[in-house]
Structure 1
Amino acid sequence: MIYAVWIPLLVPFLAAPAAGRLADALPPVRAVRLLVATSVGLALCGLLALALLVVPGATRFPAVSALGELVRPLSEAAPAVAVPLAAAALALLAGCAATVVRTVHGRRAEFHRAARTSGHADGELVVLHDSRPDAYALPGRTGTAGRIVVTTAMLRALDPAEREALLAHERAHLAGRHHLFTVAVELAALCHPALRSLRGPMAYALERCADEAAAPAVGDRRVVARAIGCAALAARAAGGSARPRPRAALAALAGPVPRRVAALLGRAAPRPRAGRAAAAALLACLVVSATAALDATSDLHSSIEVAQGEAPQR
C-alpha cells in the first residue's frame, strides 16, 4: 500500500496531455464516452486513495483502534508521520465533498431560475429580445423537454437555412442530454486539479457531437458549417458579451469554432493513429489507477487482519 496508494493521485497528471489530442483524433461520440469514463474513473480512484491514506493514521487513536479491534498499530510509520498524513488526506476529502455539494446546489438553483425565466414560452423555442447574438440549449427537468434559447439579434444574423441548422445543433444537445456529461466531468475536476484540463476537450467533443447530428438533420454539412461560422462572426462583431447564460446551458458558439468548421467541411486531416494512441493512453491511465487503488485496498485489508492478530488470508 505504501507505494500503490499514491499512483491514483499521480496518474491524472499523465492523462491530461492525451485528452487534448483525443477530441480531434476520434469520432466525437467515442471521444465523449472515453473522456467521461476517464474523468469519473480517475476521480473515484483518487478519492479512494485519499480514504486509504486516512485509515492508518486514524487507527493511531485509541477509540478508532478499539473500534477496529486492533491489538497492534496498523501502520509501521511513526505517529508523527501517519497522523498528519491522515489529517491532510481527511481535509482534502472533506474539501472535495463540500465543494461538490456546494456546486451541485448552486447549479440546481441556477437551473431552476433559468427554467422559471423561460417557462412561460410555448414549445421548445424561447426568443429573447436582445441586441447581442446568442443561442444555447437549456436542459429541462427530469422527464421534461428542454428549451432552445435564441436572441432576436442571432435570428437576424442568419438566413433561414442557417437558422434551421443552428436549431438542429441545439436540439442535438437536448436529445443527447449532453449537459449530464458536462456536469460529470466538472464534478470530477473538483476532486482532482489535473482533471480540470479535461473540461476543454470535453466541451469541444460535445459541440462536435451536436455538429455531426445537425448535418444529417438539415441535409448539408456546409450549411451547418456556415451557420456556426456566421453565428460566431455576428457575436464577435456585436462586441461586449451576451446576457449571462446558465452554466448548465450548452451554446452553439462554444469551443474553437474554426476547428469545428474545418471538421464539418472535411478539411481537418484524419489522424487515426493519433486517436488510437490517445485512447490507449487514457485507457492505460484508467487501468493503472484502478489496479493500484484495488491493490492498495487489498494491502490495507491484509494489514488490518495482521493488526487484529489474525493471519492474512491468501
Structure 2
Amino acid sequence: MLVSVYIPFVVTAVLAVLGPRLARRLPPRPAAWALACAALVTAAGWAGALGLLAFTGLAQVPQVAAEGRWSVAALRAADPVYRVVAFGSALVLAVGIVSLLVAGVRQARHLVWARRECAHLPGETELAVVDDDAPLAFALPGAPGRIVVSRGMLRCLGNDEREALLAHERAHLRGRHHLFQTVWRLTAALNPLLRPLAVAGDFVLERWADEEAAERVGDRRVVAHAVGRAALASAGKRRPVALAVTGGAVPQRVRALLAPPPARRSLPLVTGGLLLAVCCTSLANAASDSDHMLDSAQWAQCAAGTDDSPLEQPRIPVSCCDGREHQESGEHRP
C-alpha cells in the first residue's frame, strides 16, 4: 500500500500536464469524452488515495485502535504512515470536499438561472432574437434549450455566417455540452490539479461545435469567418455566462477551421486509457492491502490479548530417590 497509494497522485499530475496536449491531437468529440472520463477517474482516485492515507494514520491513534480492536504496533509495522502525512491528507480531502459542495451549489444555481432565462425569453421557438445593439450569441441549456442572438450580432454577419453561428450554438445544445462543463468544474473543485483539463475542455467543446457547424454548412471557411467576425464584434464586451460562439481561444479555433478536418488518432486515447487503468489498479490494490493490513492488526491484537491471560503452571520433571523421573506438577512427593 505504501507505494500503490501514491500512484493516483502521479497519474493526476501526468494527466494535468499531458491531457491538454493529447486532447488537441484528437478530434474534438472523442477528446471531450476522454477529458471527462479522465477527470472523473483521476478525481475519484485522488480522493480515494487521500482517504486511505488519512484513515491509515487515524487508525494508529490509540483511542481509534481501541475502538477498532486492532494493534497499533502491528499497523505501524505493516504500513508506517507518518501522522503529519495522514493529517495533511485529511485536511486536503476536507478542503476538497467543501470546495466540491460549493461548486455543486454554484453549478445548480447556474442551471436554474439558465432555465428561468429560457422561460422568460420572447417567443416559443428554439431561436430567440433580442433587441440589443450589443453583439451577443450564446446557448442556454434547458428543457429544451434556447439560442439567444442579439440584433447587433446579426448585423455583423452575412447570411451564410449567420447560418454557421446558429449551427454552432445548436451543436452546443444537441451535445449537452453544459454537462461536460459541469463535470470539469466539479472535478477541478475537488482536485485543483485538474484545472488544466477544465480549460482544455472548454476549448474542445468550442471545437466540437465548430466541426459540427462546418459539417452542417458544408464550408469550413464560412464557419471560420463567422467565428472570427463574432469574436471581433464582441471584443471588449462582457462575456455571457453560457456557451458562446466567441468562447475559447478564437485564433486557434479559426486556424483549425482553415486546416483540413482533424484525423482520427488512437495513440492519445490508448495512452490516456493506460494511465487511467494504472490509477484504478493501484487504488484497488491499495484498498485491498489496507483491508488485509487491518485484518492482520486485529489478529495481532487478539493474539496479544490471549498471551496476557493466566496460564496453567507447567509440569516439570523431578528426580526421585530411585533415579526415575516423573512428570509432576511443581510439588515433590515424599
Q: Deviations over 1:49-80 (max 9, x none)?
A: 00100112222334432443324446316999
Match of 2:194 in 1: 195
Deviation at 1:117, TM superposition (A): 3.4
Is contact 1:169–1:210 with CA below 8 Å preserved after alignment?
Answer: yes
Counterpart check, 1:226 vs 2:219: no
2:240 to 238, 242, 245: 245
**How has the CA–CA distance of structure 1 residues 301 and 79 changed in structure 2, closer, same or farther, with 3 Å as cutoff?**
closer
**How has the CA–CA distance of structure 1 residues 81 and 6 changed in structure 2, closer, same or farther, with 3 Å as cutoff?**
closer
Equivalent pairs, count: 298
Whole-angstrom distance in 2 between the partners of 1:128 and 1:88: 52
Counterpart check, 1:133 vs 2:148: no
What percentage of aligned pairs have identical amino acids?
40
Counterpart check, 1:35 vs 2:35: yes
2:290 to 300, 304, 307: 300
> Structure 1 counterpart of 2:153, which letter?
M
> Structure 2 counterpart of 1:241, which letter?
K
Whole-angstrom distance in 1 between the partners of 2:57 and 2:103: 30
Is contact 2:61–2:72 with CA below 8 Å preserved after alignment?
Answer: no
Match of 1:254 in 2: 247
Is contact 1:56–1:82 with CA below 8 Å preserved after alignment?
Answer: no
Whole-angstrom distance in 1 between the partners of 2:218 and 2:267: 33
Deviation at 1:152, TM superposition (A): 2.2
Q: Name structure 1 gaps, 5 residues minimum.
A: none
Match of 1:18 in 2: 18
SS of 1:148's equivalent in the other structure is strand
SS of 1:76's equivalent in the other structure is helix
Match of 2:315 in 1: none
Q: CA RMSD in A?
A: 2.5
- Using CA pairs under 8 Å that are at least 6 residues apart, name the structure with larger relative contact order, 1 or 2: 1
> Structure 2 counterpart of 1:208, which letter?
R
> Structure 1 counterpart of 2:240, which letter?
R
Whole-angstrom distance in 2 between the partners of 1:175 and 1:305: 51
SS of 1:308's equivalent in the other structure is helix
Q: Normalising by the residue count of structure 2, what TM-score does the alignment of the two structures yield?
A: 0.81
Point out the structure with max Rg over C-alpha. Answer: 2
Whole-angstrom distance in 2 between the partners of 1:146 and 1:12: 34
> Structure 1 counterpart of 2:290, which letter?
L
Match of 2:120 in 1: 120
Is contact 1:18–1:279 with CA below 8 Å preserved after alignment?
Answer: no
SS of 2:76's equivalent in the other structure is coil
**How has the CA–CA distance of structure 1 residues 271 and 115 changed in structure 2, closer, same or farther, with 3 Å as cutoff?**
closer
Match of 2:87 in 1: 87
Whole-angstrom distance in 2 between the partners of 1:234 and 1:196: 29
